[in-house]
Structure 1
């Protein structure tokens, strides 16, 4: 297939691009490099430095793409509460421009990178796809709006789409040549890479946001999924798309780990004891989020192969020790 990947310079997008190329697909990557550089884009992919808002420059009638995998967007829930306009522009408005271009180019398949944040504070866990959607942050609001737009468009056309609602992605992907793809967000807001930076001495101390949640140890509980497992779900999703249908699948381990448990895993893996300070809760952080992935296992034939939190942290630590660099591609900087 000829496949277009938006946000392909990012952590998940680059990992999926690598797996698509390994599977023999032709891949074009679109990324504006506003939050990444090009170091993790596989050199075999055709790269276009374009904003998704301007995707029609690449996704043109007659361009011959068989599928679009849409990862581009902002991901920091805390930032979405302080700068909501950024998220509405980069997540929702850009996605609507992409949907327009997909229809104009007659692309038959779309896989959308959605999020567990659409569920907000769930009434029950593990969370199933039929659970109520009630986001508690702007990030979740913007992603849910795109899910709804996709549902409307698939009902009115032959476009087939699958939304994959991620839980917390972590770890690092090891490529066949021994290089690695890992988290390199700018700015970094995710717990595991921040804790590993602290263990590596790159940060003076780790800040834990909130220890008064209604959970066993007072800290947030999250479902951590290995990035390679998540990437495999996308390849399976492409083949499971039906024309004129929009399907939604949760992709997670189905296991909840508290922030304190994750920090303990980081200390165990690295052998480093580091200082932790507690700060107030961040706005828009639900107390507990973990998935039921039974539907994805049944329909897609997918299951997590790396569910152990220590193994996930160990892969992320290996990437950290490589200097958080990938040797996969040239740098524009």
Structure 2
């Protein structure tokens, strides 16, 4: 029996998922993208958007984030929904992206990203900086400069944001960005449209670099509320430590025990690697405990298997008190 479906409809239904991209880029370039892997450091407002765009384009992913999904994230972190609250961001993102494109490889690392485990970036083709603190950015800059890995700087706050491609032979982050207070950061809010725009530009630059296209060391600025857009050509700074082979963040020995996050009233405390099973059993006697095997949540504290704890508190003293009471000294 002849199908009742029109010939054009049958043809459209038989097209593969990358058809429109192939029409633009060509078959060979699509194959190149499908053989590449991008690391997304920070799976938040920028990272969720950039990761989804790259996944839909056929690029495999390494997702790195130490944090858990909170209700306040849902305003701008587009991959997540209400059912993800309390889950590890890296794990929840992998679950969503695997449903979007099951043909790519997606690896998740719900860990504190530091100079002790940064070698996880060694096997990727590009790194996208979607973090919320300068210390991690400078660390990524050092490692990528040393290993000659291209990466994309991205940042957004309030209604504006910045993007810049950083390639091995060009200027690096420390050529134009000064150091700041590495232990604390303030929260002033952010519009979800600016994070989406910045992440989309990051993903576009990543695709161009993965395909061997030339990109200029241009720092792009966008203020979506005031409709301001500027570009600044960045040049190498003569005294830049990283460009001169001095990797201060990569070689850093000390690590802060307590760090205040941009999220209002949230602190990270580093401790010894815990026995999650026994702690969960202890907490369960006094209340409801949530977890996914790599972390457990109870009240205002989330404890990870690598020894990190995220604590909601008004002051660092209160955060340390909660940690000491529920986890130990």
**What TM bracket, shorter-length normalisation?**
0.3 to 0.5
Which structure ranks higher in relative contact order (CA pairs < 8 Å, sequence separation ≥ 6)?
Answer: 1
- Max Rg structure: 2
TM-score if structure 1 supplies the norm length? 0.33
